[in-house]
Amino acid sequence: MLIHIRHWVIGPPLPTRELEGQSLSKLRALAAFSPDALSSIAYANQEIYLALVLAGSAGLNLTLPVGLAITSLLVLVAISYLQTVHAYPSGGGSYAVTRANLGELPGLLAAAALLIDYLLTAAVSLTAAVAAIASAFPVLWPYRVTVALLFLFIITIANLRGAKESGTVMAVPVYLFIGSYLGMLGYGLIRLLFMPGETPPIAPPQAVAPLTTALILRAFAAGCTALTGVEAISNGVPAFVPPKSRNAAQTLLAMALLMGLLFAGSIALTQAFSVVSGPEETILSALARRIVGSGVVHWFIQIATMLILAVAANTSFAGFPRLAAVLAEDGFVPQQFRQLGDRLVYANAIVALSLAAALLIVAFGGDTHALIPLFAVGVFMAFTLSQTGMVLHWWHERGANWWLKAVLNGMGAAATAVTLVVVGMSKFREGAWITILLIPLMVIAFRGIRRHYAAVRAQLAVTDGAMPSTTNARPRVVIPVSGAHRSALEAVAYARSISDDVTAVYVEIEPDSADRVRKAWQLICPEVPLVAVPSPYRSLLGPLFAYLDELDRCCDDSQLATVILPEVVPARWWQAVLHNHASLAIRRALVYRRRTLGFQRTIIEVPYHLDR
Amino acid sequence: MLIHIRHWVIGPPLPTRELEGQSLSKLRALAAFSPDALSSIAYANQEIYLALVLAGSAGLNLTLPVGLAITSLLVLVAISYLQTVHAYPSGGGSYAVTRANLGELPGLLAAAALLIDYLLTAAVSLTAAVAAIASAFPVLWPYRVTVALLFLFIITIANLRGAKESGTVMAVPVYLFIGSYLGMLGYGLIRLLFMPGETPPIAPPQAVAPLTTALILRAFAAGCTALTGVEAISNGVPAFVPPKSRNAAQTLLAMALLMGLLFAGSIALTQAFSVVSGPEETILSALARRIVGSGVVHWFIQIATMLILAVAANTSFAGFPRLAAVLAEDGFVPQQFRQLGDRLVYANAIVALSLAAALLIVAFGGDTHALIPLFAVGVFMAFTLSQTGMVLHWWHERGANWWLKAVLNGMGAAATAVTLVVVGMSKFREGAWITILLIPLMVIAFRGIRRHYAAVRAQLAVTDGAMPSTTNARPRVVIPVSGAHRSALEAVAYARSISDDVTAVYVEIEPDSADRVRKAWQLICPEVPLVAVPSPYRSLLGPLFAYLDELDRCCDDSQLATVILPEVVPARWWQAVLHNHASLAIRRALVYRRRTLGFQRTIIEVPYHLDR
């Protein structure tokens, strides 16, 4: 029954041979790779506003300069990644580039930063999506966490079904967003130029903090989240139609242009119209409301914003599992992340990402602003490492104009490194410390995991003469029984077919029950002796293991020490709650108990199926 | 390590022989059995107020009449239970009395009502305790759910440690509460009589609903929760020092008097002072503030109220597990509820009650008012059934004055039955429907569970000649392997010691890996054939079971079909997350899969312990 539900929700399994690449045209590739980058203006603008509004209208007057500084940074980063696209036509993810050029440790740093980055992209995009839609429909504000989790659930299910179905559907929100925003900005510009004299209808907010350099730096640091997602195309070069690098480069250029236009344009108009927003509205929603007024058009813009943010969260569900699978291939994360599921997706990684994102959303109360300080550190660490790697790449390769290319990437690396320091310091106490702490811990975990796998491989490897010797001795069998039942008899029958040395043992949890059980046993199974073990503390495992240890200490054919567990299996799975699973507890203790006597015991389960 | 933590939190295990009764003096018995009854005035007053305030001051003028009606009901119920105390000196819980006199089905109805009642006592008392303390310290209001869960956690741990330690400690809050409330009421009376002319300082609230009969009935129904806990002493007669019945009866009388005094007194003063309360304060807190003013004395009263409510919640943790154990003894609930834990408490029932109460508190947002409609139905159903049972008890016994006793219990039964109908109807839509639906469902479950246990017993019973025959055939063994590892070799060695018919099987999840594995296997274990099974959908279990079924179909010595699972056991428990537990999945599928071919397979696990 569970399998049927699963098939209905996730879809039937797909055979492995359907695993093939798809090639994307430039228009479809732009839709596939840009949502994260484009949608990040939604929260970046909001963060700049929230930082500067503390200094009142004097602060808000700096919106455009801060925005332009970030746009210049965007230009540098975009140029850097243009070079990566050409240098790594097989996909130049930050982990691959950093590991290849700087070595394993920086590579792992980049990997940790990227995993955190993917996770926060999902969490931040979802909460920002909810903020966008709740700005149009304020009735949703109190339910922000619930709505965000609902979106997350839908995206998780869609990804467990497999990305292919979702590919084309994604293009719609992206172009909807681009179209509606360009339209809105254009209309706003026209109003600004040709309908002057409109005074700002809202009083400028009161300053609650002085306009210090620290405040401006914080606004800059928070706004830098606008750059998240720029690197997406450089990871995905192999997905383009040939000529891959060239098409990817052109798409990257188009994306960067659109990003810059939307970001700088909305920032400029926000300042020009002196837009401010209340606590239950995003600044972009307030801008849209200012330009097009409240009503259906405003709703449409907010819905488009929500959709592209949801799609952006979805891109994490493509990137995270792919990176986790690469790391699992290299042995740095649990092997389960390598397993392709029924639907040819890395289901374990998708579920892990979804759970972690849900945890973040709940822990931070669905508040984008609270999550942002954790976000930018990972992004800019990956940028810096990847660009530094590119500098070394050109240095090693020394092709035509290698020094020019190295200088361009070096400028990118320097700019992102400076930003990393600014972000890390100005947002440290607000949450950046979590990321700064987490990244080295993850690197330590990565290395520990690889050491563990290496140790396991070494221990499981078959060396010469390692074949365990086969003895002619038959196993020495102990059967824990809870009474003179049919299931115990089945176990005895199996035991006698493999051994002549069989003992049944009864742990006397209920006081004074041993005599009764011994008599009943004598009647039905006189050929196997029953040993009763007292249990003054009503514990099952303690006395049983004391008895087993004592028994094994006397004998030397210890290799064949065997415990047979009679297992009563209920007819229906839900009846399991009515049984006490003593045999399961014994089994687990037998398997996981360290071999104190230099050997382990073999466990035999003889199931006895009930019919009703 | 887990065991050490457990011992530190819960305490070391206690031997079974320490399980003895303790005898309580009347003063200690009053403290032990009355908290639920006494503390219920805290929420009952609040409910009456919340119901009547809807009709403004006209409604609030009816506070005293409603309170007096409930007090009369209390007198009837107390007299009824006085008779129970004498008739059932061995403890006359509603389940026992009802089952003995009315039969099994009404007994189970009473049991279901009581279980729900215990659960709601815990949830309601805890939320009311938080409301009491938050009335004095309003900073706690937003964290009501968290604080209630914290209290619940502390009570759960205390009960898992064992009730004995907590016995004496409990008496303090009870007498603190009684003393502080009697003092407050007395001081209030003095102020009322000797300092007249004080006008109510607060404007009477506006009516938002007309003063209808339905509204008055709702106030009465909600206020009837004041009666919860009256029956506690009748359950606990054996705990008294001899003469048990007499001491219990006197204690019951004292408790009923105190209940009536505190309830009617606080109701009367509330109306006399025209006290009203805001949304973030209980009416009792407002009354106390009116009498003693804000400050330390008010804090003291609220803390005493909180403490007795917490102790009242604690009584559920004594009653619920005891009733569940009795029901488990009779086979109506899972057997796990019979198991005395390490500390001689029914740990499973304590944990189950705690989880259910936590769920209720979270689901209803920690709001007492939202929980109350679910509450009274169970209480009054148990009252009615128990008192009706008492009528039949006197009828069957026909001792001296039997008809007088029967009439007294009959009046109790009639009054509580009428109240049950009033409560059920007037609170139906607000939540009583949940309880009304749940009780019959629980009875159905009780009977289903007993049927299941009877069926299991019948199936496990050993009938003549049922002893399975022992064959001389050796088991036919299949070993699923994931590669040519040492752990697989250990499994092969064991297999060869019990059988000559051994096959290894490799499921080819990774495409084109079979040849490589087959070659490696040939090198290290040429004497056992390796079969490779393709798996186009990357599933492990599907192809494996198809192979096993095919194999078993050919053979007729099916009784000894055996699967040996090589089990790699990591050196540390947390390393388990790095392994994919394929053998666990195979084991579970083997055990729970219904025997499609008329027999089951035996499972052998050969653990291979890693050292690091």
**B360, two tokens:** 């209720």
**A611, two tokens:** 């019919």
Average pLDDT over residues A304-323: 88
Average pLDDT over residues B315-321: 86
B598: nearest CA in chain A?
Answer: A609
Cβ atoms A566, A607 nearer than 8 A = no
Cβ atoms B208, B51 nearer than 8 A = no
* Interchain contact, A591 vs B579, CB within 8 Å: no
pLDDT at A597 over 60: no
* Interchain contact, B604 vs A606, CB within 8 Å: no
Rounded CA separation B581/A228 (Å): 37
| Model pTM score | 0.75
Compute the residue count for chain B: 612
* Interchain contact, A342 vs B539, CB within 8 Å: yes
| Cis peptide bond upstream of A243, omega within 30 | yes
Cβ atoms A561, A550 nearer than 8 A = no
3-state secondary structure (DSSP) of residue A502: strand
Rounded CA separation B509/B539 (Å): 7
Rounded CA separation B517/B504 (Å): 11
Rounded CA separation B238/B89 (Å): 7
**A111, two tokens:** 């990997």
- Predicted confidence (pLDDT) per residue in A417-444, tens digit: 988 998 888 888 888 899 999 999 999 9
Contacts of A605 in chain B (CB under 8 A): 587, 591, 602-605
For A460, which of B336, B487, B560 is closest by C-beta distance? B487
**Taking CA A241 as the corner, what is the angle to CA A238 and CA A246, rounded to the nearest 5 degrees?**
80
Rounded CA separation A485/A97 (Å): 65
The residue ranges of every structural domain in chain A are: 25-453, 476-609
Residue B17, CB-side half-sphere exposure with 13 Å CA sphere: 4
Contacts of A608 in chain B (CB under 8 A): 460, 600
**A233, two tokens:** 């195309």
Contacts of A331 in chain B (CB under 8 A): none
User: Which pLDDT does position B153 carry in this prediction?
Assistant: 93
B5 in reach of chain A (CB within 8 A)? no
Average pLDDT over residues B102-131: 92
Compute how many other C-beta atoms are within 10 angstroms of the C-beta atom of residue B529.
Answer: 13
Rounded CA separation B278/B386 (Å): 39
Cβ atoms A239, A32 nearer than 8 A = yes
Phi-psi region of B442 (alpha: psi -120 to 50; beta: other; left: phi over 0): alpha
User: Which pLDDT does position B531 carry in this prediction?
Assistant: 92
Q: What is the full DSSP assignment across A224-274?
A: GGGGTTTTHHHH-GGGBPSSHHHHHHHHHHHHHHHHHHHHHHHHHHHHHTT
The Cα diameter of chain A in Å comes to 107
Rounded CA separation A67/A223 (Å): 8
Rounded CA separation B319/B341 (Å): 16
CA-based nearest residue to A511, from A532, A486, A488: A532
User: Which pLDDT does position A467 carry in this prediction?
Assistant: 60
In sequence order, the 6+-apart residues with CB closer than 8 A to the CB of B521 are B481, B484, B504, B506, B530
User: Which pLDDT does position B470 carry in this prediction?
Assistant: 58
pLDDT over 90 percentage in chain B: 23
User: Which pLDDT does position B128 carry in this prediction?
Assistant: 93
Of chain B residues 18-77, which have a CB less than 8 A from chain A? none
pLDDT at A558 over 60: no
Q: What is the full DSSP assignment across A15-55?
A: -GGG-----B-HHHHHHHHSHHHHHHHHHHHHHHHHHHGGG
Least confident of A240-254, A407-421, A527-541, B86-100: B86-100
- Predicted confidence (pLDDT) per residue in A4-19, tens digit: 666 666 666 666 655 5
Rounded CA separation A237/A82 (Å): 11
User: Which pLDDT does position A196 carry in this prediction?
Assistant: 66
User: Which pLDDT does position A9 carry in this prediction?
Assistant: 66
Residue type for A394, please?
W
> Exposure string (b/e) for A58-87, b if CB count within 10 Å is 16 or more?
ebbebbbebbebbbebbebbbbbbbbbbbb
Cβ atoms B607, A562 nearer than 8 A = no
Cβ atoms B122, B316 nearer than 8 A = yes
Compute the residue count for chain A: 612
Residue position matching structure tokens 């009846």: A575
Of chain B residues 533-552, which have a CB less than 8 A from chain A? 536-539
A584 in reach of chain B (CB within 8 A)? no
User: Which pLDDT does position B6 carry in this prediction?
Assistant: 65
For A602, which of B16, B487, B604 is closest by C-beta distance? B604
Of chain B residues 495-514, which have a CB less than 8 A from chain A? 496-499, 511
- DSSP annotation of A452: H
pLDDT over 70 percentage in chain A: 89
In sequence order, the 6+-apart residues with CB closer than 8 A to the CB of A261 are A182, A185
Name which residue leads in pLDDT, A537 or A188. A188
Name beta bridge partners: A505: A480, A531
- Predicted confidence (pLDDT) per residue in B483-537, tens digit: 888 889 889 988 888 888 899 999 998 888 899 999 989 888 888 999 999 988 7
User: Which pLDDT does position B150 carry in this prediction?
Assistant: 92
**Taking CA B478 as the corner, what is the angle to CA B475 and CA B480, rounded to the nearest 5 degrees?**
150
- pLDDT range class, residue B1, cuts 50, 70, 90: low
- pLDDT range class, residue A56, cuts 50, 70, 90: confident
- Predicted confidence (pLDDT) per residue in B321-342, tens digit: 888 988 998 899 998 888 877 6
pLDDT at B17 over 90: no
- Predicted confidence (pLDDT) per residue in B551-610, tens digit: 877 766 555 788 999 988 888 777 878 887 788 888 888 887 765 545 678 899 988 888
- pLDDT range class, residue B179, cuts 50, 70, 90: very high
Q: In what order do the strands lie in the sheet with B602-609?
A: A530-534, A501-508, A476-480, A561-569, A602-609, B602-609, B561-569, B476-480, B501-508, B530-534
* CATH number assigned to the domain with residue range B23-150+167-194+206-313+367-453, chosen from the 4 options 3.40.50.300, 1.10.3720.10, 1.20.1740.10, 3.30.300.10: 1.20.1740.10
- The predicted complex's ipTM stands at 0.76
Least confident of A264-273, B154-163, B176-185, B439-448: B154-163
pLDDT at A594 over 80: no
Name which residue leads in pLDDT, B461 or A533. A533
User: Which pLDDT does position B148 carry in this prediction?
Assistant: 93
Rounded CA separation A479/A492 (Å): 8
Average pLDDT over residues A547-551: 85
- DSSP annotation of B61: T
Radius of gyration of chain A (CA): 32
B584: nearest CA in chain A?
Answer: A588
- Predicted confidence (pLDDT) per residue in B219-242, tens digit: 888 888 888 888 888 877 877 888
In sequence order, the 6+-apart residues with CB closer than 8 A to the CB of A236 are A29, A32, A33, A91, A248
Cβ atoms A35, A312 nearer than 8 A = yes
Same-fold call for A25-453 versus A476-609: no
Average pLDDT over residues B309-330: 88
- Predicted confidence (pLDDT) per residue in B24-40, tens digit: 788 888 888 888 889 88
Radius of gyration of chain B (CA): 32
Rounded CA separation A224/A262 (Å): 15
User: Which pLDDT does position A16 carry in this prediction?
Assistant: 60
Angstroms from B333 CA to nearest CA on chain A: 8
- Predicted confidence (pLDDT) per residue in B396-438, tens digit: 888 888 888 888 888 888 888 988 998 888 888 888 899 999 9
* Residue B237 CA to its chain's centroid (Å): 23
Do β-strands B602-609 and B561-569 pair in parallel, antiparallel, or remain unpaired? parallel
CATH code of A476-609, in short, is 3.40.50
pLDDT over 90 percentage in chain A: 23
Q: Does domain A25-453 have CATH number 1.20.1740.10?
A: yes
Contacts of A449 in chain B (CB under 8 A): 578
Q: Which helix (H) or strand (E) segment is B55 a member of?
A: none
Rounded CA separation B475/B469 (Å): 14
Q: Mean pLDDT of all residues in chain B?
A: 84
In sequence order, the 6+-apart residues with CB closer than 8 A to the CB of A150 are none
Cβ atoms A125, A353 nearer than 8 A = no
**Taking CA B324 as the corner, what is the angle to CA B73 and CA B429, rounded to the nearest 5 degrees?**
50
Average pLDDT over residues B181-199: 82
* Residue B417 CA to its chain's centroid (Å): 25
